[in-house]
Structure 1
C-alpha cells in the first residue's frame, strides 16, 4: 500500500475520531464512583477524571467505508460488532452486548487503556499508529499494536494480582519505540 493511501486513511480516521468524540461527549457521563474505585489502582486520577462514557444502540462504521471498499482494502474492522470503542476521552458502549459486572469492568478497563494511549500520543498520532498498525499487520484487527497492548493489559487486569500503573507501562513502551509523547 502506498504512502499516499496510508496518509489518506490516517486523515479520514483522525477526522472520524474527532467527529465521533465531539458528537457523543455531549451526552456522555463521568465514570461512576464504583467504577472509579475499581480502576483507581491502575489509572492516574487525571485519566479517571478525563473519561466519559456514553451508551449507543450500536457503534457505527465510519462514513468513509464505502470509499475505501472501492479502493480494494480488505478486512475492514466492523465496528457495529464491537462492545466498545474510545474516541479520545469518550468511551462508547454498545447496548447490543449485555454484560455483567465483571465483563463490564473488564471492557471499561480495556477502553481506559485507549484513553491513556490517546492522552500520551494525542489523537492524530494515535490515529496514525492505529491505522499504520492495521495496515502493517495485514489488516488484522487483533494484530494492531495499540489493540494488542490494550488486550494484554486487560488480560493482566482480569487475572487479578498486584495493581500496576497503566500510564507508566504505556509511557515506557512508547518511549522505547521512539515515539514522542505529549505527557
Structure 2
C-alpha cells in the first residue's frame, strides 16, 4: 500500500490482511521508535526484509529505504491516489481526533499540536507538499518496465477501496 498520509492505506491494509488471513506490517510502526526517533536504516531494512520473506503479507507505507525489498517480493502494489482535498480533510480529522483523545500510535508516540503547526514536522504540511510528488512517482512506477512483475491497483476513491476489499 502506497500513497499520501491520510489516504486510507492503513485501514485498507488491515482489512485486506484480515480478509486474506495474512500478516500486515505498517512501516510507520517499525520506523518510529520512542519519542519519534527514527530507527537506523540498517535495522529498519532488516525488519522489513525478515517480514517480507514470508509467503504472503501486506505492507503499508512509502519508505524508499525499503521499497526495493518490498516491491521485489510483492505481486501487487495498491496505490492510493485520492484528490488532495479528500486527503487533507481525512488527515485533518484524523490528526485532531488523535490529539483530542491522546491516542497512542507506535512505541508510545502521540500526535501533538506541536506536530500540527510545526514547519518541519507537521503531517498536514507533509501531506500537502507530497501529494503531487506521490501522484507522479507512482504513475511513473506503474509504467516502468522494471516493475512489470507487479500489478498496480489505483485507488481513487473510497468506493474503489470498498470494491477491492469486497472482491476478495
Query: TM over 0.5, yes or no?
Result: no
User: What is the TM-score normalised by the length of structure 1?
Assistant: 0.23
